[in-house]
Chain A
Amino acid sequence: MPRIIGKITFWRVLAAVIIVLGLIVTVRRFFFGLGTVTNLSDGFPWGLWIGFDVVSGVALAAGAFSFAFLCHVVGYGKCHPVIRPAILTGFIGYILVCVGLMYDLGKYYYIWHAITMWNHHSVMLEVAWCVMLYTTVLAIEFSPMVFEKFNLDTPRRIIAAVTIPLIITGIILSMLHQSSLGSLFLIVPEKLHPLWYSPLLPVLFFISAFTAGPAMVIFESTLSARVFKRGLPMETICNLSRFLLMGLVVYVAFRIQDLVARGALGEIFTGSFESIHFILEMLLFIIPMIILARRRAEEHLNWVFAASIMVPLGVVYNRINTCIVGMIRSSGTSYFPKWDEFVISIFLVTLGVIAFYLADKYLPVFPKEEELLPGELGAAAESA
């Protein structure tokens, strides 16, 4: 198997390079301040780290809550085989969001002030509390995987007993959190471009994050099935892809209807910098919608896999457009992230992927083969 070893080595070298670069930038950021490692300025105080690491990161970690809802509350579509990967993604995602926040906060050493000093008129306070509480909930939801691994029965039973209230708490926190990231921008009607500013921002953020959840899980399950060469719970994937389609239809309809209601539809066709980004963003929702409407996961896993990559990308694009692209014109300055900013973002994603890989390898994250029905086995390998 020399080729496989070669491949693994390549990925490892790449990861090592990213980590070294990441550490260098980390030192520079904490010793010399934000100005040295970012292109942020007084005119443009929020950039890639807020737009990608924090706001997009939270959206992509939303799978944990969409699944908690689908699986535990309404019992939709045999989601059990994928609830754990969803929780794991959420947990890792939220930890990375916290780390990303530490980079971005100018006075990170006072971060605990958010616990002791409250201004309850601030959306940012809601965001901070949701991050803290929901990370805790995810840690608890994640813990059974560790307990199981080490056969710790008592703590596992304790957690099992409080599962439902815990899960409902998690869903509510997550709902508040996803929407509050949209609410952050409600206070800048005069700054954010009309293609993105809407009084409905919190609702739109919530729906798109909820939709990103199943897409992320289809993506991860399929990828991880290929990497570790194991079977895929096909029935679940099919149900999820149908659910994803529904989510996309609702989101796109909502988004367009919102533009119409605000009279901002014309902005799409002006050919401006913003309109181009808007069209690209919407394509990342509309193309997967068309794919999913025409191709069923049973026969076309690769198509569905492609769609499941596009949706999270679309959500990230939307968040970046809201935080960065839509804010540039009014700022009177320009902004494009410095390479150090990219390094940190890629560094955090890399850490996340490594954490997921290790957890997947050593903890009972995906169901074991024998737990799947025989007919579900090998579907991934065949279509791959």
Chain B
Amino acid sequence: MGKVGLLVDFTECIGCQACVKACKEQNNLPRPSYTDYSDLTAENYTVVLEKAGTNFRKLCMHCHEAACVSACPVGALQKTPEGAVTYDAGVCIGCRYCMIACPFQVPKFEWDNPFPAVRKCIYCYDIVKEGEQTACARACPTGATMFGERDRLLQVAKRRLAAQPDRYVDYIYGEKEVGGTSTLFLSGVPFDKLGFRMDLGEKSLPELTWVVLNKVPNIVITGYLLLGGIWWIVDRRKRMEAERLAEEEEHEESA
């Protein structure tokens, strides 16, 4: 299987929340009636909201070059070959650097649990790796949420934009954001009006830290040589100075 993805076409979403309910069942999250679903939380891997006259969905973008994956010191977050970014609570140390790093503010934390975990959409990885679709895509009655190979979904999105330019803003959210994401959005309303950041750029974020990190071995080697060298020179000078003084003293004594 190639890399999978989700295409959510906001213009086809009727706001029925079937995807949200399916997600909660699949991931054993508390039932919707108990929670606030105005935003992603540790209990909401996805939400469907309404703003500016359109329904829209929020969930993890499953970035190709995921900032969260590169940030996690212990590798609790992984980009799987299928494209899903998964999480292992048995590995995570709870440093929350992933939450800082994620440009979409996706990972959430169980603040009131003394034995907490980070929570976010994992593309229903258990069933996806068996070749099934995600729970949300399966539940969606209108096809607004579509599961498939990411390349093919991108073609679908492009075709829709070309066929009905009046229906959509001419933008595929996630096509290029921070190096491209597995989740793609189409919308009839400009994305920034819905709270999606349009200023993230196309560059991969992990690259920004990697340019420094990959210098570490170099710094260590150069550091040892340089500091050792300075020390050797200074120390030698000191020793010679001491010898010179000793010699002078001898001269004085013999004189």
* Closest beta carbon of chain A to B95's beta carbon, Å: 6
Question: Which residues, 186 to 232 on A, are CB-close (under 8 Å) to B?
Answer: 186-191, 199, 202
Does A7 count as interface, using CB distance less than 8 angstroms? no
With a CB–CB cut-off of 8 A, which chain A residues contact B230? Answer: 73-74
With a CB–CB cut-off of 8 A, which chain B residues contact A125? Answer: 73-74
- Nearest A residue (CB) for B114: A33
With a CB–CB cut-off of 8 A, which chain B residues contact A184? Answer: 97, 100
Does B156 count as interface, using CB distance less than 8 angstroms? no
Contact B96 A46 (CB under 8 A): yes
Given contacts A33-B112, A42-B109, A190-B103, contact A121 B234 (CB under 8 A): no
Contact B95 A187 (CB under 8 A): no
Contacting B220 at CB < 8 Å: which of A36, A113, A176? A176
How many Å lie between the Cα of A187 and that of B69 in the bound state?
12
Contact B216 A45 (CB under 8 A): no
Shortest Cβ-Cβ A-B pairs, 5 listed: A106-B94, A35-B111, A107-B94, A124-B73, A125-B73
* Closest beta carbon of chain B to A273's beta carbon, Å: 20
Interface size on B, residues (CB 8 A): 57
A-B contact pairs, 19 of them (CB 8 A): A34-B109, A34-B111, A35-B111, A42-B109, A75-B238, A105-B93, A106-B95, A118-B75, A119-B70, A121-B213, A123-B97, A124-B72, A126-B213, A186-B208, A186-B209, A186-B212, A187-B206, A202-B212, A332-B105
With a CB–CB cut-off of 8 A, which chain B residues contact A202? Answer: 212
Does A362 count as interface, using CB distance less than 8 angstroms? no
Does B115 count as interface, using CB distance less than 8 angstroms? yes
Question: Which residues, 172 to 226 on B, are CB-close (under 8 Å) to A?
Answer: 197, 199-201, 205-206, 208-210, 212-213, 216, 219-220, 223-224
How many Å lie between the Cα of A334 and that of B224 in the bound state?
44
Contact B75 A168 (CB under 8 A): no
How many Å lie between the Cα of A327 and that of B99 in the bound state?
12
Scan A166-181; emit 1 where CB is below 8 A from any B CB, else 0. 0010011001100110
With a CB–CB cut-off of 8 A, which chain B residues contact A118? Answer: 73-75
Does A156 count as interface, using CB distance less than 8 angstroms? no
How many Å lie between the Cα of A114 and that of B205 in the bound state?
22
How many Å lie between the Cα of A42 and that of B41 in the bound state?
7
With a CB–CB cut-off of 8 A, which chain A residues contact B40? Answer: 42
How many Å lie between the Cα of A172 and that of B218 in the bound state?
11
A sample of 5 more A-B contacts (CB under 8 A), given A187-B206, A188-B103, is A72-B231, A107-B117, A127-B73, A175-B219, A175-B223
Contacting B208 at CB < 8 Å: which of A106, A117, A187? A187
Contact B213 A120 (CB under 8 A): yes
Contact B114 A117 (CB under 8 A): no
Contacting B94 at CB < 8 Å: which of A105, A127, A332? A105
Does B67 count as interface, using CB distance less than 8 angstroms? yes
How many Å lie between the Cα of A332 and that of B196 in the bound state?
12
Contact A187 B212 (CB under 8 A): no
With a CB–CB cut-off of 8 A, which chain B residues contact A30? Answer: 114
Contact B101 A187 (CB under 8 A): yes
Contact B224 A172 (CB under 8 A): yes
How many Å lie between the Cα of A191 and that of B206 in the bound state?
15
Does A41 count as interface, using CB distance less than 8 angstroms? yes
- Nearest B residue (CB) for A112: B93
* Closest beta carbon of chain A to B20's beta carbon, Å: 18
Question: Which residues, 76 to 111 on B, are CB-close (under 8 Å) to A?
Answer: 91-97, 99-101, 103, 105, 108-111
Question: Which residues, 220 to 251 on B, are CB-close (under 8 Å) to A?
Answer: 220, 223-224, 227-228, 230-231, 234-235, 238
Scan A26-47; emit 1 where CB is below 8 A from any B CB, else 0. 0000111111101011110110
* Closest beta carbon of chain A to B78's beta carbon, Å: 9
* Closest beta carbon of chain B to A105's beta carbon, Å: 5
With a CB–CB cut-off of 8 A, which chain A residues contact B70? Answer: 119, 121-122, 187
- Nearest B residue (CB) for A127: B73
With a CB–CB cut-off of 8 A, which chain B residues contact A126? Answer: 213, 216
Contact B197 A106 (CB under 8 A): no
